[in-house]
Amino acid sequence: MGIFSKMRRTAAVVGIAGFAAVVSAAAFAAGDAKEPKNRDWHFEGIFGTVDRASAQRGLQVYIEVCAGCHSLKQVAYRNLADLGFTEAEIKVIASGFDVTDGPNDDGEMFERPAIPSDRFVSPFPNEEAAKAANNGANPPDLTLQVKAHPGGADYIHALLTGYVDPPAGTEVPEGSNYNAYYAGNFIAMPQPLYADGVEYADGTPATIEQMATDVVNFMQWAAEPEMEQRKKIGFKVVIFLIILSAILYAGKRKMWANVDH
């Protein structure tokens, strides 16, 4: 997939919030949340791998929708090489964001475009600024959200696609939104994804379902970028132990073959 056709320095004000403790006082007792469906993710299983095309699109969703509110502090731009981005593409992606650096020769801090070795630029300079911009709630860092929530990828996907009209007679409190999969059903986060909310560089139709799937694949990679390597090593270790066990058993049989038991 080529570089994004357009990089947005200012992402949508409404990010993908609501993962775990994202909202301030979001949950009200108003019915039972639906159980997320078990989805067939490409990364699941002992031979599961990263769906790189989807994760690349998910990066675009993160940048254009989520990055205005949510940080990704544990990932550096250069890590995107693992998703198949070229060095030139990574430089372009990083340069779409400014970082504070310094001090310079005059002892002053200064702004400069981010470079591949920088970590993803946070939307707010500190936690207090994040709370002030979000009605007292500090939008969580998204790096580990797939691993942190008990429902994992299935829950996050369900949450992102779970904005529906409330049942007849249900009054949604002011400042809340109805989500079928959120505990209590009332969530402070407005719906973040809308059809054609992004224009995918590879031409994939940007449905809500597609964008949710893509950003979850990206978040899964961000949470565990070493997953494929871990699985490969684990598989090799298992094969080694099987072979070693067979050798030890054959040796034991040979050693004790002429001994009366």
**147, 153 Cβ separation under 8 angstroms:** no
How many residues are recorded in the chain?
Answer: 261
| Position 166 pLDDT exceeds 80 | yes
Mean pLDDT computed over 26-47:
76
Secondary structure letter of residue 22 according to DSSP: -
pLDDT digits (tens, 9 = 90+) for 142-151: 999 999 888 8
| Position 20 pLDDT exceeds 50 | no
pTM, two decimals, is 0.79
Neighbours of 79 (CB within 10 A): 17
Q: Which residue has the higher pLDDT, 187 or 24?
A: 187
Tokens of 122: 């946070």
**Cis status, amide bond into 103, omega within 30 of 0:** yes
> 88 falls in which pLDDT band (50, 70, 90)?
very high
Mean pLDDT computed over 178-195:
90
pLDDT digits (tens, 9 = 90+) for 96-115: 999 988 888 888 889 999 99
| Position 8 pLDDT exceeds 70 | no
| Position 259 pLDDT exceeds 80 | no
**247, 87 Cβ separation under 8 angstroms:** no
DSSP codes joined into one string, 62-83: IIIIITTT---TT-BGGGGGGG
Q: Identify the pLDDT of residue 213.
A: 97
Neighbours of 153 (CB within 10 A): 22
**Distance of alpha carbon 83 from alpha carbon 76, whole angstroms:** 12
**123, 130 Cβ separation under 8 angstroms:** yes
**42, 48 Cβ separation under 8 angstroms:** yes
**Distance of alpha carbon 11 from alpha carbon 64, whole angstroms:** 5
Q: Identify the pLDDT of residue 176.
A: 86
**215, 200 Cβ separation under 8 angstroms:** no
**Mean pLDDT value across the chain:** 86
- Domain 1-225's class? mainly alpha
Mean pLDDT computed over 75-81:
96
